[in-house]
Structure 1
Amino acid sequence: MTPSSASAASSSSSWFSGIVRGRSVKTPAGSGSGSISNPSAASEGFPGSRKNQMRGVLFKYGPKSVQVAFKTGDFNQQVIFIGGLTDGLLATEYLEPLSISLEKERWSLVQPLLSSSYIGYGTSSLQQDSFELDQLIGYLINKENSEGVVLLGHSTGCQDIVHYMRTSFACSRAVRGVILQSPVSDREYRATLPETASMIDLAATMIKEGKELELMPKEANPDAPITAYRYHSLCAYMGDDDMFSSDLSEDQLRLRLGHLSNTPCQIIFSMADEYVPEYVDKKALVDRLCRAMGGAEKVEIEYGNHALSNRVGEAVQAIVDFVKREGPKGWDDPWH
């Protein structure tokens, strides 16, 4: 951020309030935000913090009890982290050092809990996640005078972001950039498991019988209860979650991802991702994904695992570099 844009960020009225203040973001009476802090200590080379501890504010952004978010930094521009299946707060090891690096650039890091967080993913959907993400951004605009956000997705959180950016939700216009970290195919990974084929058939049958919201047998997904719809979405060819599979054609990828061509995008791909089957040519896949998104920036992390826990420094550097370049640059910029 330049000094002039930082000054604009401190203005008392949000550039987006004209649209959103007509839409209510309901919050239960008496709810508010609470401060969570940690003792100061030096660890992992980051002064003032202990590993996997962060100082910030916990706040409610919607009416459901699960709809809380944790924010580090107190700035008018935010990076929103959307985790993958089973993820919640502090989902990846790069989040703590990322929050410190973002604060130096006058950006806040926001980690929301959605209805799909932890074991809730099996009974939720991309549409539900998108609705709650819109509520969160609306809160940041109305309560924090946000001047725009960058969405950072990890794993299946990338699907949430792609879906959200396709919606007509008003707050999607506040998104100034998109980062997809480890956008991989749940379908291709699950196809390596022996029970998947028969369970896809069962899910398809249940959906045809109008039972899409009923639960699948436990053996379909031992980690969490899962509906026939969400199982089919994650595991079936061209299911709603099937966005990054290597066997999709160029036209199919453009159909799924092409709407992102109007938004600055970055793909951070782990070249040793354990959730990508060995037969997949990772370099070719990430090139195809970038083309389908209209020329997204490509960052290949050699030897990086799925969560980049073994390449934390490279992950943080790539994210911060992108945010500094593509974030809000002025009061009127989001409209042009």
Structure 2
Amino acid sequence: MNPSTAASSSSSSSTSSGSWFSGFVRGRSGKLDASASSLRTAQANPIAGELRGVLLKYGPKPAQVAFRTGDFNQQVIFIGGLTDGLLATEYLEPLSSALENEKWSLVQPLLTSSYIGYGTSSLEQDALELDQLIGYLINKENSEGVVLLGHSTGCQDIVHYMRTNLAFSRAVRGAILQAPVSDREYRATLPETAEMIDLALNMINEGRAMDLMPRQANPDAPITAYRYHSLSAYMGDDDMFSSDLSEDQLKARLGHMSNTPCQVIFSMADEYVPDYVDKKALVERLCRAMGGAEKVEIEWGNHSLSNRVHEAVAAILDFVRREGPRGWDDPWS
């Protein structure tokens, strides 16, 4: 999902009334157990538009670099949505600071699908590159395991990657899906979508799945018929979080995530979720399909949580601390 229209700034979170914990509604048993000292440090020492760290080259393609803050052997890997690259969301800077206090690194990879590359890529390609990155962290950075943090369409990457059972997926100790919303349902609100889905399907049937669609199909970036269909069509490869999918369909697409500790962070004012969708019912169904994933509803939060930065950091940090390396052994044992 393209986050470019999220208009609120993280500074607005500081002006909301009451405690910044007031926007939380947590599902599953257990209270919020965020590290107060880490969060206070993150708030008291904001990073003014810069992060200091190390740039890693994890694969042979020019785009395959990753930026790591913190020098620790446990890592949170952030996977952004469509058009995203480095520092894709405003909560990443304070999250990096908070994670360092807990002795975790934050890793922000660029994939070949980053920025405007998403239209000519696929979930399969993203999964292969994500596996390369985790392999690099294990072999070169002595990683003890990773937590995957997906934003928007990055959530689809995580779900797909965990289904592939690729070589290094065993090193994933937890997954956080922030704003797992339906690209299909959002695109259905655009006037050109129905006609373009038909065109994409015709091109695929003619053996031209990797040919580019007309510019009006996706003005942000060049897009192949396959990726347009994947994002826009009913039961396309990217169609994982739509409110009209049946319980069986959701379980078929998300059920394997029950093998991994998962947290779903849902923005209750997400501008990319159509008004007709019951957000509370949807997040409940998604968590149930994933075998009882932890649910965090952030009231008034927009898609990227730019207006609820502190709540985002608190929820992520709490999950990481609870699903962290207590009792971890070698990922291959």
TM-score computed with the length of structure 2 as normaliser: 0.86
Q: Which structure exhibits the higher relative contact order, with contacts defined as CA atoms closer than 8 Å and separated by 6 or more residues?
A: 2
Distance 2:111 2:191 in 1: 30
Letter in 2 for 1:301: I
The Cα of 1:333 is off from its aligned counterpart by 6.9
Q: Which residue in 2 is equivalent to 1:140?
A: 137
Matched, 1:158 2:155: yes
Contact 1:44 1:51 in 2 (8 A): no
Q: CA deviation at 1:334?
A: 4.5
C-alpha distance in 2 between matches for 1:268 and 1:200: 30
Match of 1:184 among 181, 184, 197: 181
Give the letter aligned to residue 103 of structure 1.
E
> Quick one: distance in 2 between partners of 1:127 and 1:242?
14
Q: How does 1:17-36 map to 2 (within 5 A)?
A: none
Q: Which runs of 5+ in 1 are unaligned?
A: 1-42
Quick one: which of 58, 76, 80 aligns to 1:79? 76
Instruction: Measure how far apart 1:335 and its partner are.
Output: 6.0
Shift of 1:137: 0.2
Cα offset, 1:44, TM superposition: 8.5
Change (3 A) 1:55 1:46: farther
C-alpha displacement at 1:52, in angstroms? 2.3
**Mapped pair 1:316 → 2:313:** yes
Distance 1:69 1:274 in 2: 29
Q: CA deviation at 1:332?
A: 2.3
Alignment of 1:115-264 (within 5 A): 115-264=112-261
Given the alignment of the two structures, is residue 285 of structure 1 paired with residue 267 of structure 2, yes or no? no
Asked if the contact 1:46/1:97 (under 8 Å) is kept, the reply is: no
Equivalents in 2 of 1:91, 1:148: separation in Å? Answer: 23
Q: Please give the alpha-carbon distance, in whole angstroms, between the structure 2 residues aligned to 1:302 and 1:193.
A: 26
Secondary structure at the aligned position of 1:164 is classed as helix
- Quote the Cα distance in structure 1 between the aligned partners of 2:135 and 2:180: 26
Provide the secondary structure at the position in 2 that maps to 1:170.
coil
Tell me if structure 1 keeps the 8 A contact 2:82–2:114.
yes
Q: How does 1:90-101 map to 2 (within 5 A)?
A: 90-101=87-98
- How many residue pairs get aligned? The number is 293
2:299 matched to 1:302? yes
> Which runs of no fewer than 5 residues in structure 2 stay unpaired?
1-40
- Cα distance in structure 2, aligned partners of 1:333 and 1:278: 46
What residue identity is the alignment partner of 2:262?
Answer: C
In 2, distance between residues paired with 1:59 and 1:334? 22
Aligned counterparts of 2:55 and 2:176: Cα–Cα separation in 1: 24
User: Shift in Å at residue 121 of structure 1?
Assistant: 0.1
Structure 1 length as normaliser, TM-score? 0.85
State the identity as a percent.
82
Taking the aligned partners of 1:229 and 1:157, their CA distance within structure 2 comes to: 18
State the 1:330 CA deviation. Answer: 2.9
Distance 1:144 1:333 in 2: 14
